[in-house]
C-alpha cells in the first residue's frame, strides 16, 4: 500500500511507460501472493473448493487494504494492462482460499445511473489523455473526475489548477496543503474528500497525530479555523481585522503569500464539497463505504460474478416491470417536456423585453434587494436522509457554526457591489502578485465554467443559454449579497423555479443536506450532463463569492 509498508510499492503504476508498469505489477503480484500464502488455509486449494468452502478473511498484515487498492485499480485505472493484471492478482488470491473484496454501489455517482457515465476503458482519446494525466498525478482516477468528464474542457482546467495548488511550488509545505483541504471539507462533513486527503496527507509525510483533532495540529493551522468557518458559512462577516490577526500573531503568523495560498485552498475545497454532494459522488472503491468483503446476499449466481463485482441489482433497477405504471411515467415525461418549452418561451420573452425597454437603476436595485430577501425563505422541506457520512468534526472547531441568512434576527449585511470590488479588476491581480500563476489558472477556470455551452437544452439544439447561465451565477452571488449593477434580478424569478432554487441553495450553502430527490426534482427532462454543468456553475460561483470577500478584506488590510 503506502511506501512505508516496505513491501507493496504502487508508484511505478503511475508511469506512462508500459515496461515500468509491468515491472511494478510483477513486484506487487509477488508481494501480495507472499502475504496471501502466509494466511491461506491450503496454498493450492482449487478455485471450486475455495468457492464452496469458507473463505479466509484478509484482515491480517494490512492485506485487506492492499486487496481493496487492487480492486480499485481493476475497475478505475486508465491503463488496460494495470486493470487486467490487478484482476488476475485478485483471482489468484481468491484461488488460495482468501476472501477478496467487491465494489459497493453502482458507479461514481449515487444520482446518475452507471450506464449513463463514462466507463473506464470506453473513453475517447481526449478523455483518455485526461484520465491518464489524473492517474499519473494523483495515483488514482477518482469519482469526481469520472463525473466531471461529462465536460472535458472544464475538467482539464480543474485538474491543472488543483495539481498546481497541491503539488507545484508554492508558499505552503505539501502536508499543510492537504491538512487545509481536510479542514475545509470537514466544515461540510464531506467524508469523501476528508478520506482522500487523509491518505494524501500521510503519503507526503504528515504527522498522524494531527488527524486526531485540530487541537493536535500546529497553532498556526489552528488559527486558520476561524477564517475557515466564516468562509464556508458566512463569508460576508470577514473583515481586515480577521486578516490582521493571522498576519500579526508573532511566532505563529502567516505571511501574505501563505495566506493567499490557504484562502484559495479553503475556497477550492468548500466548493468541491458542494460538487461532491450536489452530484451524489460515491465513496472511492478502495475507501470506507466503497467495497465490502462480505459475500453478496443474492445466492443464485456464480463465483465469477462475485469476482467481477456484479451484484445482481442493476437488473432489478432497469427491469421493465417496475412498480411505476407506464401511464404515470408518460404523464411525468409530458410535464417535463412542457417545463422545457415553458422555460425557453420565458427566455425568448425576456430577451424581447430587454430589447424594448431597460429598467431604471433604482428599479434594478429594488429588484436585487427583493431577490436577496426572498432567497432567505428558500429552504427545503425534505425529510429524506442525505448521504451518510462518518463524523469528521474533529478536524474543525465550533461544530454549531453554520450558514445563516443575511437578515435573520435583524442583522443587516451591506450589499457587496461588484463595481466596487471585482475578481477581474481587483482579486485576480492580488492573487497573481502573491501566488504567481494561480490568478491566471483560477481566471481560466471561472471563464470556462461561466461560458461553457453546447447550445442545447434537453432535446433542443441551437439554443442560446447565456441568459440562463447568467441567472444561475447571479442568483448564487445574490445569496451571498453580491450585486451586479447592470443585471435585472427580476429575470431570476422568471427562469429559476422553486425546486431549482431549493437545489441551488442547498448545494451552495448546506451541501451536506442535498438529497437525490432534490437532484431529481429540477429540470426533469434535462440530461445528467446538463445537471453536472449546473454544478460546475455552482462550484465556481461559490468559490468566486468566497474569494471576493476574503480578498477584499486582505486588500483593505494592505491599504
476 part of a folded domain? yes
Backbone torsion region of residue 9, taken as left when φ is above 0, otherwise alpha when ψ lies between -120 and 50, otherwise beta: beta
Reading the block at residue 382, the C-alpha cell is 425534505
CA distances from 489 to 118, 351, 356, 372, 412 (A): 37, 14, 17, 9, 20
Q: How far apart are CA 86 and CA 63, in angstroms?
A: 14
For residue 394, being part of any structural domain is answered with yes
pLDDT at 399: 59
| 165 in Cβ contact with 102 (< 8 Å) | no
Closest to 496 (Cα-Cα) out of 474, 525, 512 = 474
In this predicted model, what pLDDT tens digit does every residue of 72-111 receive, in sequence order? Answer: 999 999 999 999 999 999 999 999 989 999 999 889 999 9
Stretch 341-347: mean pLDDT, rounded? 88
- Please indicate, yes or no, if residue 396 is contained in any of the structural domains: yes
Output 48 or 58, whichever has higher pLDDT.
58
- Residue 391: pLDDT band (50, 70, 90) is low
Q: Is residue 154 part of a domain?
A: no
Cα(first)–Cα(last) distance of the chain, in Å?
Answer: 50
Residue identified by cell 471561472 is 446
For residues 97 and 53, is the Cβ–Cβ distance under 8 A?
yes
How far is Cα 41 from Cα 45, in angstroms, rounded to an integer? 8
CB 161 within 8 A of CB 445: yes
Least confident residue range of 7-11, 371-375, 502-506, 548-552: 371-375
Q: Give 475: exposed, middle or buried? Use CB within 10 Å, 0-12, 13-18, 19+.
A: buried
Q: Which pLDDT score, from 0 to 100, does residue 393 have?
A: 58
pLDDT at residue 338 in the model: 79
* Residue 118, domain member (yes or no): no
Query: How would residue 385 be classed by pLDDT, with cut points 50, 70 and 90?
Result: very low
State which residues form the domain around 541: 330-558
Domain boundary pick from 81, 100, 119: 100
| Per-residue pLDDT tens digits for 409-418 | 445 667 899 9
Task: Answer positive or negative: Cα dihedral of 162, 163, 167, 168.
Answer: negative
* Count of beta carbons in the 10 Å neighbourhood of residue 303: 15
- What is the pTM (predicted TM-score) of this model? 0.85
Decide if pLDDT at 421 tops 90. yes
Asked if residue 351 belongs to a domain, the reply is yes
Domain for residue 151, yes or no?
Answer: no
Strand partners, 417: 483
Count of domains observed in the chain: 2
- Reported as a pLDDT band with limits 50, 70 and 90, residue 341 is confident
**Lookup: cell for 43:** 496454498
Q: Strand 102-103 relative to strand 291-292: parallel, antiparallel, unpaired?
A: antiparallel
In angstroms, the CA 471 to CA 494 distance is 9
Q: What is the pLDDT of residue 48?
A: 42
461 Cβ contact list (under 8 Å, min separation 6): 455
DSSP 236: G
Q: CB–CB of 364/485 below 8 Å?
A: yes
Asked if pLDDT for residue 347 goes beyond 80, the answer is yes
Q: What is the pLDDT of residues 175-230, one digit of tens each?
A: 999 999 999 999 999 999 999 999 999 999 999 999 999 999 999 999 999 999 99
The answer to whether residues 22 and 13 touch, using CB atoms and an 8 Å cutoff, is no
| Residues with active-site annotation | 190
In the prediction, which pLDDT does 7 show?
64
Write the pLDDT tens digit of every residue in 295-335: 876 544 444 333 333 444 333 333 333 344 444 444 444 55
Q: How far is CA 512 from CA 266, 389, 539, in A?
A: 17, 9, 14
467-500 tens-digit pLDDT: 999 999 999 999 999 999 999 999 999 999 999 9
Local confidence band at 9 (pLDDT 50, 70, 90 cut-offs): confident
Q: How many CB atoms are located within 10 Å of the residue 123 CB?
A: 18
Question: pLDDT-based confidence at 2, cuts 50/70/90?
Answer: very low
Percent of the chain whose pLDDT exceeds 70: 80
Residue 8 located in a structural domain: yes
Q: How many residues does the chain have?
A: 559
Amino acid at each position: 500500500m503506502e511506501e512505508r509498508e516496505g513491501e507493496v510499492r504502487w508508484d511505478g503504476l503511475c508511469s506512462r511507460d508500459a515496461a515500468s508498469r509491468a515491472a511494478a505489477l510483477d513486484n506487487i503480484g509477488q508481494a501480495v501472493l507472499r502475504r496471501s500464502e502466509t494466511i491461506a488455509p491450503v496454498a493450492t486449494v482449487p478455485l471450486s473448493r475455495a468457492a464452496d468452502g469458507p473463505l479466509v478473511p484478509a484482515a491480517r498484515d494490512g492485506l485487506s487494504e492492499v486487496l481493496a487498492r487492487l480492486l480499485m485499480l481493476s475497475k478505475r485505472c486508465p491503463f488496460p494492462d494495470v486493470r487486467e493484471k490487478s484482476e488476475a492478482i485478485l483471482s489468484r488470491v481468491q484461488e488460495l482460499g482468501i476472501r477478496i473484496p467487491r465494489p459497493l454501489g453502482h458507479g461514481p455517482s449515487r444520482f446518475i445511473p452507471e450506464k449513463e457515465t463514462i466507463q473506464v476503458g470506453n473513453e475517447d482519446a481526449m478523455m483518455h489523455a485526461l484520465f491518464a494525466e489524473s492517474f499519473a498525478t494523483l495515483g488514482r482516477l477518482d469519482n469526481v473526475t469520472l463525473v466531471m468528464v461529462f465536460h472535458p474542457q472544464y475538467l482539464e482546467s480543474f485538474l491543472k489548477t488543483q495539481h498546481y495548488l497541491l503539488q507545484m511550488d508554492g508558499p505552503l509545505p505539501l502536508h499543510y496543503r492537504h491538512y487545509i483541504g481536510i479542514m475545509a471539507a470537514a466544515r461540510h462533513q464531506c467524508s469523501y474528500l476528508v478520506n482522500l486527503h487523509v491518505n494524501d496527507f500521510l503519503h507526503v509525510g504528515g504527522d498522524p497525530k494531527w488527524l486526531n483533532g485540530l487541537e493536535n495540529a500546529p497553532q498556526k493551522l489552528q488559527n486558520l479555523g476561524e477564517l475557515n468557518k466564516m468562509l464556508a458559512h458566512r463569508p460576508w462577516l470577514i473583515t481586515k481585522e480577521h486578516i490582521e490577526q493571522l498576519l500579526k500573531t508573532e511566532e505563529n503568523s502567516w505571511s501574505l503569500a501563505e495566506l493567499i495560498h490557504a484562502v484559495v485552498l479553503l475556497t477550492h475545497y468548500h466548493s468541491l464539497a458542494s460538487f461532491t454532494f450536489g452530484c451524489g459522488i460515491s465513496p472511492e472503491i478502495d475507501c470506507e463505504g466503497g467495497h465490502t468483503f462480505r459475500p453478496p446476499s443474492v445466492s443464485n449466481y456464480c463465483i465469477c460474478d462475485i469476482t467481477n463485482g456484479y451484484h445482481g441489482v442493476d437488473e432489478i433497477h432497469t427491469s421493465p416491470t417496475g412498480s411505476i405504471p407506464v401511464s404515470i411515467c408518460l404523464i411525468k415525461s409530458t410535464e417535463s417536456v412542457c417545463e422545457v418549452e415553458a422555460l425557453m418561451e420565458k427566455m425568448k420573452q425576456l430577451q424581447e423585453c430587454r430589447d424594448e425597454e431597460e429598467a431604471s437603476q433604482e428599479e434594478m436595485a429594488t429588484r436585487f434587494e427583493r431577490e436577496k430577501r426572498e432567497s432567505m425563505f428558500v429552504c427545503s422541506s425534505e425529510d429524506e436522509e442525505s448521504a451518510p457520512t462518518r463524523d469528521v468534526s474533529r478536524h474543525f472547531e465550533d461544530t454549531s457554526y453554520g450558514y445563516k441568512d443575511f437578515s435573520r434576527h435583524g442583522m443587516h449585511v451591506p450589499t457587496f457591489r461588484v463595481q466596487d470590488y471585482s475578481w477581474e479588476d481587483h482579486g485576480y491581480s492580488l492573487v497573481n502578485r502573491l501566488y504567481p500563476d494561480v490568478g491566471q489558472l483560477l481566471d481560466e477556470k471561472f471563464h470556462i465554467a461561466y461560458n461553457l455551452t453546447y447550445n442545447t437544452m434537453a432535446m433542443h439544439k441551437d439554443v442560446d443559454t447565456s441568459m440562463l447561465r447568467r441567472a444561475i451565477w447571479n442568483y448564487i452571488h445574490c445569496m451571498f449579497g453580491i450585486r451586479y449593477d447592470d443585471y435585472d434580478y427580476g429575470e431570476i424569478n422568471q427562469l429559476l423555479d422553486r425546486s431549482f432554487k431549493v437545489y441551488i441553495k442547498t448545494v451552495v450553502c448546506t451541501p451536506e443536506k442535498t438529497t437525490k430527490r432534490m437532484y431529481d426534482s429540477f429540470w426533469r427532462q434535462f440530461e445528467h450532463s446538463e445537471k453536472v454543468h449546473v454544478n460546475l456553475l455552482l462550484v465556481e460561483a461559490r468559490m468566486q463569492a468566497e474569494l471576493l470577500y476574503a480578498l477584499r478584506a486582505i486588500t483593505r488590510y494592505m491599504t
